[in-house]
Amino acid sequence: MLQKKVRLLWGVCALGIILGGCGDKSPLDAKNPVTIDVWTYYNGDQLTAFDSLVEEFNETVGKEEGIIIKGYSQGSVNDLETNVLAAVKGEVGADEVPNIFAAYADTAYAVDQMGQVVDLKDYLSEEEVSAYIDSYIREGDFSGGGEIKIFPTAKSTEIFVLNKTDWDVFASETGAAYEDMADMDGLVETAQRYYEWSDGKTPDVPNDGKALFGRDAMANYMLIGSMQMGTEIFQVSEGKMTLNFDKETVRNLWDHYYVPFVKGYFAATGRFRSDDIKTGNIIAYVGASSGVSFLPESVNISDAESYPIEMEILPCPKFEGEDSTYAVQQGAGMVVTKGSEAEIYASVEFLKWFTADERNIKFSVNSGYLPVTKTANDKTAVMDSGAQISDNMGKMLSVAVDTVNGNKMYTTRAFETGTKARNILEYAMSDRAAADREAVVSRLASGMSLEEAVSEFVSDEYFDAWYEDTLKQLQAFEN
């Protein structure tokens, strides 16, 4: 009897050891789940897609392992950045630092400088790391020593969006083709043709031609355009930026945006170019692939008149240059902050789960972001995933995935004043263009010809002045 009991006891012990062994080294306990706060800037479809995945995680893997993910949308990227920095600095009224927050490289870098960011390299095997698109992983390597401070979750690039309905009218009448807009020169030429074509529609009203094109992100234009022409404006090494604002290159950028803008070939009046499409201001623009869900379905020429439109997505036009195969890489990644071992472990578990191919594609097709792993960033994989894909979304993914796979993805390396420096690039040319265009419009209204009206602005002197001014502004951020 006793012997039996003893044998049973040994059995129980052995079972305990075996089961204990099965538990790996996980610091988690399913009975006492660890709660992970995730801050994002997602809205609309993106937020819905993210929330549904979080819910799925909490109900499956999270439940098994003892992880509860709580997502908080901070509204916009800027809000997110402000709140994260406030939390990290421990400002009055700020929330606790979240376990994970979505961030662009600059914000991640700033928080990392405060010593709050976990190097995820220690939590991922080489095999796991190699599954992600290399440039996405490199974005979080601030020191250049192979660290991973940003976990890629959702990326985007730029695409060329076209109001096919209105384009087709123009194309059929002028014989213009998509290929015409494959490079920058062609784009500007086509825009001029479009302006002149539309101006000709009302012979009695001079200079009422319409703009073909607009841009959402001017900084991207300047940075990528430079790269394509062989110059990296912000050369960053170990957090220090060296300015490389090549005048010739910049002049080229000027000529392919500012000049057509003041002439009225390009335009930007609404907040986003999609707004301009909606109000019939333009019919094409270059914008973030992730904005695809905001593509308009109709155009309101006036408060009373509107008509439905069809959209087309094309690759972005490029500069002819040393290496024109550069494309922009954007979209925030996830940053894991320092905390208990369990919290970090749980955070990484979630992010790995979130970016597994199936989930990654699901999130992509619902949010407009691009998959982050090599295997998921594949047209066939996306199409075969069985997810419901809207028309525009399908078009976008098709173009964007090709863009990612066929180009060198570029994003500026993080440095301390990166955001501010970027803002110079964002607004220096566009603000000047918008202001000058207004001047041009009023000159035209006063009876000047287009040539006369723009002559002052397209001069070399005018460019030089602007260049020097901008250079000075940028130099302030050097080093």
Q: How far is the CB of 32 from another protein (least distance, A)?
A: 14
For residue 435, state whether it binds another protein (rule: CB under 8 A): no
Closest to another protein by CB, 74 vs 377, is: 74
Q: How far is the CB of 294 from another protein (least distance, A)?
A: 6
Window of 140-148, 269-277, 319-327, 362-370 that interacts with another protein by CB under 8 A: 269-277
Q: 293: burial class by Cβ within 10 Å (0-12, 13-18, 19+)? A: middle
For residue 51, state whether it binds another protein (rule: CB under 8 A): no
CA distance 378 to 451: 48
Answer for which of 40, 74, 324, 377 binds another protein (CB under 8 A) is 74
- Within a 10 A sphere around the Cβ of 182, how many other Cβ atoms? 16
Answer for which of 7, 13, 30, 43 binds another protein (CB under 8 A) is 43
Residue with tokens 């993210």: 50
Window of 16-24, 297-305, 366-374, 408-416 that interacts with another protein by CB under 8 A: 297-305
For residue 58, state whether it binds another protein (rule: CB under 8 A): no
Among 329, 343, 260, which residue's Cα sits nearest to residue 37? 343
CB 310 within 8 A of CB 164: yes
For another protein (CB under 8 A), the number of binding residues is 29
CA distance 159 to 330: 12
Tokens of 378: 């594949």
**Amino acid identity at 4:** K
CA distance 364 to 361: 5
Q: How far is the CB of 314 from another protein (least distance, A)?
A: 22
Answer for which of 40, 83, 116, 156 binds another protein (CB under 8 A) is 83
Closest to another protein by CB, 229 vs 421, is: 421
Answer for which of 79, 91, 134, 464 binds another protein (CB under 8 A) is 79
Judged by DSSP in three states, 373 sits in: strand
Window of 146-154, 200-208, 270-278, 463-471 that interacts with another protein by CB under 8 A: 270-278
For residue 75, state whether it binds another protein (rule: CB under 8 A): yes
CB 331 within 8 A of CB 370: yes
Please calculate the CA angle 60-55-347 and round it to the nearest 5 degrees. Answer: 75
For residue 279, state whether it binds another protein (rule: CB under 8 A): yes
CA distance 205 to 391: 38
Residue with tokens 């490289």: 105
Q: What are the two backbone dihedrals, phi and then psi, of residue 173, each rounded to the nearest 5 degrees?
A: -85, -30
For residue 375, state whether it binds another protein (rule: CB under 8 A): no
For residue 270, state whether it binds another protein (rule: CB under 8 A): yes
For residue 32, state whether it binds another protein (rule: CB under 8 A): no
For residue 303, state whether it binds another protein (rule: CB under 8 A): yes
Q: How far is the CB of 390 from another protein (least distance, A)?
A: 13
Closest to another protein by CB, 356 vs 439, is: 439
Tokens of 99: 């376990």
For residue 174, state whether it binds another protein (rule: CB under 8 A): no
Q: 162: burial class by Cβ within 10 Å (0-12, 13-18, 19+)? A: buried
Among 118, 153, 117, which residue's Cα sits nearest to residue 132? 153
For residue 76, state whether it binds another protein (rule: CB under 8 A): yes
Site string for another protein, 236-255 (x = CB under 8 A): --------------------
Answer for which of 271, 308, 388, 461 binds another protein (CB under 8 A) is 271
CB 265 within 8 A of CB 376: no
Binding site for another protein (CB under 8 A): 43-44, 74-76, 78-79, 82-83, 269-272, 274-276, 278-281, 293-294, 296, 300-304, 306
